Structure 1
Amino acid sequence: MFVARSIAADHKDLIHDVSYDFHGRRMATCSSDQSVKVWDKSDNGEWNCTASWKTHSGSVWRVTWAHPEFGQVLASCSFDRTAAVWEEIVGESNDKQRGLSHWIKRTTLVDSRTSVTDVKFAPKHMGLMLTTCSADGVVRIYEAPDVMNLSQWSLQHEISCKLRCSCISWSPSSSRAHAPMIAVGSDDSNSSYSGKVHIYEYIENTRKYAKAEHLMTVTDPVHDIAFAPNLGRSFHVLAIATKDLRIFKLIPMRREVTAGSSGPTKLQVQIVAQFDNHNSQVWRVSWNISSTLLASSGDDGCVRLWKANYMDNWKCTAILRGDGSPVAGSSSQAAVPSTAGGPQHAPLQASSAGRKKAQLMPG
């Protein structure tokens, strides 16, 4: 049974994103009020705002945490055409109170000519790398060559997607059998372009990213996209939030490796599940850490939890309203693994309608 907890976030405008750190003990929110807030979970389960600052000169669309191996580091992106990297600096050693820590801006990335719509850190095993996508259809990948100096970032790759970009997700696989891979979604409303999801793979020979696949069946605007944690699988699982919820399986095909071969891996694309239960636009998708549970939120004001059985058949196991209460008649009492392990782990309610309160499940 999930326990809901409402937080008076005190943002002065729509909240666009909620992001948990690796351990699920810290949370960041961002809003059209141009600010980011950081929240810490106390021992009694209460969430307390420990930092709040104006980050951009436009709406802040997304906020994301780096792996704690690199310190307490946040990245944000905005309508003001920039992305920014923030680091928490703790006070002197004689400062007993954690509240004396403060966040400082380490860098501003200004390469985009249009709104920066998403920002994500690459998987930890790739080092400290940051990816942005923007409305000009370009994905940019930056690297901090010295993790002790976060004011220095170099632009490593620019991928032109030819379509307005809305969201990105890294494949988390650390297997040597899988090259680095990134999925890009587009919310371009031009229906003449089929295939609103593109998959890019890093090619070692050319040291560039090349398009491995595009999902022709996704023709509606894409609002969110998320690779499932890999956990040793030989294939990838990708969740997509569009006018409905879709789950795809991407299976790398074996290929003859010839001298000078530099093409991306061919992927066999299978749609595993498609649900229109929200009866409206789906705005966010989020996996738990073991990839056994998927959460989606939509304009119906509900968070829905999805689980696959041993036959790989997906079904809805719980429906929660924005305030966390179960929907009458739903199978919300079904056995659902605890997601208290943290983050990516907790369903998040964020829609175009916005909320001035952050809605969290579970507590």
Structure 2
Amino acid sequence: MVFNSNHLNSINDCELDYYSRKLATCSSDNTVKIFDVSLSREPICITELKDHSSAVWKVCWSHPKYGSLLASCSYDKNIIIYKEVSINKYEMIYINNEHKSSVNYIEWSPYEYGLHLGCASSDGSLSIISYIFNKNIQHEGDGYWIKHSVKGHLNGATCLSWEKPFNYILNNNKHIKDNSSDTTSTFKLVSGGYDSQVIVWAYDNNIKEFHKLFQMNDKPHTAAIKDVSWRPNINNSTNLIASCSDDKQVIIWKEEISNNKWVNEQVIKLEDKINKLSWSPNGTILAVASGQMNPPPPPPQ
């Protein structure tokens, strides 16, 4: 399906919601749009959100366990969270303007960890915006948002990825057991930056603090990191992280638990700069997107 979004500038990101019924897009025209794509006909724009004042880099849907929430980040230094308050009507429920430079990347944590939004900014910091539920009151909306951050990368942070909860499959895929819970107190994420560094962090949800666990130093990247991706842990006993860089390399990092370190397991070299990584849901395939530095000329007319 191909359709015209009617954005007035380049589209920087798009994402389907959990049920693949709604598509969110964001653009350098400073807007976020949400389209209904559940019908067989051409998608319908159900709302246009104009709360950012500069290019919007990324949009991200939450897990439906927490309602229909959409987060966005922008060159204007702001992070905004929207909620569907009635059918196809979205309102801003949270905005954070504490970063000192562009917010380049956002990603919701796995729902098993709770409602946490990870953010990476050009000011060098990583932040986690968390919703704290008031367990003493059983009414929806009784809670509050908090933000905690850490200085992560010189010259700016570009990306992050959450560790996925460990799942294992039994009885020919008929049952899936999940070992995590909403009470998880510590979880991990990996970040990349313009300083060419890939760093693994632990976030203690009890005291709301970051701790640097490991900085990849085994034949590391030599240019800005464009993306990092933590492999899903479904039937996979080994923790792997993929990273890509302007040095035209993808590196697969393997955790050696016995030595408490990560090692460079494999290097994949490409001819062009690499922009994006994505693991398959079961963690067996890694997709890599790269762009041509010098695209071929158009064919003669």
Question: Normalization by structure 1: what TM-score?
Answer: 0.67
Structure 1 position 297, deviation (Å) = 2.2
Structure 1 position 205, deviation (Å) = 9.1
Please report the RMSD computed on the Cα atoms of aligned residues, expressed in angstroms: 2.7
1:110 is the counterpart of 2:107: no
Structure 1 position 223, deviation (Å) = 1.6
1:298 is the counterpart of 2:290: yes
Q: Which amino acid aligns with 2:262?
A: Q
Superposed, which structure 2 residues align to 1:86-97 within 5 Å? 86-91=82-87
Instruction: Show the counterpart of 2:149.
Output: 158
1:173 is paired with a residue whose SS is coil
Superposed, which structure 2 residues align to 1:253-272 within 5 Å? 253-254=257-258, 266-272=260-266
Q: Which amino acid aligns with 1:185?
A: G
Structure 2 residue aligned with 1:123, among 86, 103, 110? 110
1:125 is paired with a residue whose SS is helix
1:227 is the counterpart of 2:219: no
Structure 1 position 137, deviation (Å) = 0.9
Instruction: Show the counterpart of 1:25.
Output: 21
Q: Which amino acid aligns with 2:189?
A: I
Structure 1 position 9, deviation (Å) = 1.9
Instruction: Show the counterpart of 1:184.
Output: 191
Instruction: Show the counterpart of 2:173.
Output: none
**d(CA) in 2 for partners of 1:85, 1:46:** 27
**d(CA) in 2 for partners of 1:112, 1:53:** 21
* Runs (5+) with no aligned partner, structure 1: 92-100, 189-194, 256-265, 302-363
More strand by share: 2
Q: Which amino acid aligns with 1:68?
A: P
Q: Which amino acid aligns with 2:144?
A: Q
Instruction: Show the counterpart of 1:327.
Output: none
Superposed, which structure 2 residues align to 1:181-220 within 5 Å? 181-188=188-195, 195-202=196-203, 208-216=209-217, 217-220=220-223
1:297 is paired with a residue whose SS is strand
**d(CA) in 1 for partners of 2:6, 2:251:** 35
**d(CA) in 1 for partners of 2:160, 2:67:** 23
Q: Which amino acid aligns with 1:246?
A: V
**d(CA) in 2 for partners of 1:205, 1:80:** 31
**d(CA) in 1 for partners of 2:206, 2:70:** 32
TM-aligned CA distance change 1:102 to 1:151, over 3 Å? farther
Instruction: Show the counterpart of 1:331.
Output: none
Structure 1 position 179, deviation (Å) = 4.9
Instruction: Show the counterpart of 1:251.
Output: 255
1:8 is the counterpart of 2:9: no
Structure 1 position 300, deviation (Å) = 2.5
Instruction: Show the counterpart of 2:170.
Output: none
Q: Is the 8 A contact 1:246 1:271 kept in 2?
A: no
Structure 1 position 167, deviation (Å) = 0.8
Instruction: Show the counterpart of 1:274.
Output: 268
Question: Normalization by structure 2: what TM-score?
Answer: 0.80
1:220 is paired with a residue whose SS is coil
**d(CA) in 1 for partners of 2:22, 2:285:** 21
Structure 1 position 206, deviation (Å) = 6.8
Q: Is the 8 A contact 1:280 1:299 kept in 2?
A: yes
Instruction: Show the counterpart of 2:297.
Output: none
Structure 1 position 232, deviation (Å) = 4.1
Instruction: Show the counterpart of 1:63.
Output: 59
**d(CA) in 2 for partners of 1:251, 1:168:** 17
* Runs (5+) with no aligned partner, structure 2: 135-139, 167-178, 294-301
Instruction: Show the counterpart of 1:239.
Output: 242
Kindly tell me the number of residue pairs found equivalent between the two proteins: 269
Structure 2 residue aligned with 1:170, among 144, 162, 169? 162
Identity of aligned residues (%): 26
1:254 is paired with a residue whose SS is helix
**d(CA) in 2 for partners of 1:197, 1:206:** 24
Q: Is the 8 A contact 1:200 1:209 kept in 2?
A: yes
TM-aligned CA distance change 1:254 to 1:132, over 3 Å? same
**d(CA) in 1 for partners of 2:103, 2:240:** 26
